[in-house]
Structure 1
Amino acid sequence: MALNNLNYPLDFKFKITTFASDFNITDKNGSYVAYVRQKMFKLKEDVIVFNDESKSKELFRIKANQWIDFNASYSLNEVATGKNFGRLARKGMRSIWKASYDILDANDQAKFKIQEDSAWVRFLDGFVGELPIIGMFTGYFLNPTYTVTGVDGKAYFKLKKMPSFFGRRFQLDRLIDINDDEESSVILSLLMMTLLERARG
């Protein structure tokens, strides 16, 4: 099963009733797409993508390829077939001010890049977020956006954090059609990136 033939935009909505980083993915009609759960207390990140909140069927697994590290990468695999969709690679030092990730295919060839659109939004969110009272409302007016571009320089996807308390909602829109495997690879990469960036604040 690949992540395609979806009705965009997709909504990522985090649960605030669990300690784990769990979120639902629904399409523009409110139909379920997947349920994402990050395993807790793991030295290596381990994320499972289920069919829905019942967690009755594992669809995909995203795992860190090494111990927690500044330049960690994350393998993207389908559970039923063992198919590898490539990996997401974080860009070390460049990610301090502006998030930057590479999406590589199963042959380790760079296919897409995820780039945060504004370093200033990240800076202000981190600074204002530490202020008493005012920091509680940063989720309503400091919301980063991320663009996925291909090696051809074209923008294929746009992910944006939506106004909400605690950064609970993100919305993903597809700008250009791509093939099924590449679409699955990009969506899985964005799921992992959302967890990583949300954890950073």
Structure 2
Amino acid sequence: MKDIKYPIHFKFRVTTFSNDFEATDADGRTIYYVREKIFKWRDHIMVYRDGSKSEMLYEFVSNKLIDFQQTFTINDHNKRVIGKVRRKSIKSLWRSTFNLLDENDQHDHTITEKNPWTKFWDGLFGELPIIGMLSGYVFNPSYILKNQFGEPIFEIRKEPSFFGRKFTVYKQTTKDIDDERFVLSLMLMVLTERTNG
């Protein structure tokens, strides 16, 4: 993850049968291409160097088939564990929370919604006939990745869109940190949260 210029942009493709999205840096360079196969019993997500999908860099593998305390392990191409991402509890209407674990299974960072009211109003507004289709353009949640001291490290924002296709990652610290693991964790979080807002 060296020489990556922030912000990073995630843009989903809506023309495939997979949850594909491309990650580009501030210069427009592709840094990752993410693909989730949607017809698999166990969630399995692959991260490639680019859209050619000729070189797999990482994979996210789920430990459970149900959406309760689901944990994804992040492995590199050599099957080395980079870290883990665990949904804190069953998906709720109020606030989504993800715990980040290091390679030793130690919880050291957390991703939470910046304003849980955004999800509340999006869910309420989205139920309205016809105009509910505009919710993805009006209500756009943001998420903060914090360390164990509560210091913000990254912020990811959903950009206005009718199809929930675009997210932007902003780095909030100048400290020397593990960008690789955190950006991968944010990509994983986005795959599970893209329908909110």
The question of 1:185 aligning with 2:195 is answered no
Given the superposition, is the C-alpha separation of residues 42 and 94 from structure 1 closer, same or farther in structure 2, using an over 3 Å criterion?
Answer: closer
Among 151, 164, 169, the alignment partner of 1:172 is 169
**Structure 2 CA distance for aligned equivalents of residues 26 and 155 of structure 1:** 22
Q: Which residue of 2 aligns with 1:123?
A: 120
> Per chain length, whose mean CA-contact separation is higher, i.e. which structure has more relative contact order (CA < 8 Å, sep 6+)?
1
Q: In the alignment, residue 150 of structure 1 is paired with which amino acid?
A: N
Query: Counterpart of 2:11?
Result: 13
Q: Give the Cα–Cα distance (whole angstroms) in 2 for the partners of residues 28 and 14 of structure 1.
A: 17
2:129 counterpart residue number: 132
CA offsets 1:110-135 (integer angstroms, 9 cap, x no match): 11100001121101111211222212
Q: Which amino acid aligns with 2:146?
A: T
Gaps in structure 2 of 5+ consecutive residues: none
Matches within 5 A, 1:25-174: 25-79=23-77, 81-93=78-90, 95-174=92-171
Number of aligned residue pairs: give it: 197
Under a length normalisation based on structure 1, what TM-score does the superposition of the two structures give? 0.92
Equivalent residue letter for 2:24: T
- CA RMSD in angstroms, aligned pairs only: 1.6
Three-state SS of the structure 2 residue aligned to 1:98 is coil
* Higher relative helix content: 1
- Report the identity percentage: 39
CA contact 1:43–1:68 (8 Å) conserved in 2: no
User: What is the letter of the counterpart of residue 52 of structure 1?
Assistant: D
Query: Is residue 164–residue 195 contact of structure 2 (8 Å, CA) maintained in 1?
Result: no
Question: Structure 1, unaligned stretches of length 5 or more?
Answer: none
Does the Cα contact within 8 Å between 1:65 and 1:72 map onto a contact in 2? yes
Cα distance, 1:101 vs structure 2: 0.6
Q: Distance in 2 between matches of 1:110 and 1:36?
A: 25
Q: Is the alpha carbon distance of 1:32 and 1:135 closer, same or farther for their aligned partners in structure 2, counting shifts above 3 Å?
A: same
